Structure 1
Amino acid sequence: MYVLKDNFSTYVEGFLGTLQLTFYSSLLALALGFLMASFRVAPVGSLRVFGTVWVTVLRNTPLTLLFFAVLLGLPRFGLVLPFQVFAVLALGCYTSAFICEALRSGINTVPRGQGEAARSLGMNFGQTLHLVVLPQAFRSVIPPVGSTLIALAKNSAIAGAFSVTELLGTYKTINELGYNIVWTFVWIAVGYLIITLAISALFNVLERRYGVAR
């Protein structure tokens, strides 16, 4: 208990850093995931290829390696940004591949007649996808999307190894002060548990309200 009491401000700083990293990375992952899912089912061949390559490369690249590529590689091309921004890019892009595949599986559950009916009303592909298909697809994949974002919150711990202020990184500061390392990690785990339970509760509410009854 003394670990938390004596280092409360350090824990709070790390907790808020992880919360901020998770929030912005989730927004980026959802936006890119929706975009790539649209590309994967687009009638334009080049878009389908781009979406497929995006998902294949990111899903099969270790997240730590992606952090190295983004945080150490992009500055060599003249793109210099705060490490927090690079971490958001790495986490968001990586997670977007999994969001995309979850959404694509949801798109496949939408009856083909829905799209045909939309086209008979004069809608083009973009309108059909974003006004008819994707809203229904998202309703069917709320649980897996929630699980993916929970994994994102836990994956944010990798950012601490790249000078990004986040929860797991606080152990370095506290450990140097001589505190019990077990209790140090216990309170770090509690912080992650709070974030993941909050995400789980949010998606449980969304599922009860918008999910497809089975």
Structure 2
Amino acid sequence: MLRVGLTGGIGSGKSEVARRLAERGAVVIDADRIAREVVEPGTDGLAEVVAEFGEGVLTPEGRLDRPRLGEIVFADEDRLARLNAIVHPRVAARTEELMAAAPRDAVVVYDVPLLVENGLADLYDVVVVVDAPVETRIERVVTNRGMPEEQARARVRAQASREQRLAVADLVIDNSGGVAELEERVARVWEELRRRAET
């Protein structure tokens, strides 16, 4: 089994690359999606979050109100640490389950937005970075997500720099061009990942 850490800054096209790798046969494990799953209504994860932070972090429908919770935890490091202590072990356990279910010869791709920020590069056999110039990424976020430009720039500033990401990369997918170029680059990287998985 080849463990691949896939990362890239906001607007880089990382999710698109993950989708294309899945189409080719990679087992993709999406850290963000698992983090949402472990606090779905009816889970003990959500019950523990509510016990810690109060009913005010729920929507009227009983789901986790992420923006409200974010306001609380991002203003207070101790509370953020408490939230992480609830969510992270559950994400790790679910990730291990998915790993265990993957075929022995699989290329397992972990879609990890904060791989560099959290110092996780050493957990993977190969780190793949999806890269694009900052201005291209900001333009995509503004256009595709409808995010105000200043907010997009703030998100970029809050993440690792392009240089920090490239410094941990074993393979880089340049996504500064169009869809056809991206498809060709993903195909090349997939061939390389298959080769490494077999050796």
Give the TM-score range, shorter chain.
under 0.3
Greater percentage in strand = 2
Compare CA radii of gyration and give the structure with the larger one: 1
TM (norm. structure 2) is: 0.28
Q: Per chain length, whose mean CA-contact separation is higher, i.e. which structure has more relative contact order (CA < 8 Å, sep 6+)? A: 2
TM (norm. structure 1) is: 0.26
Greater percentage in helix = 1
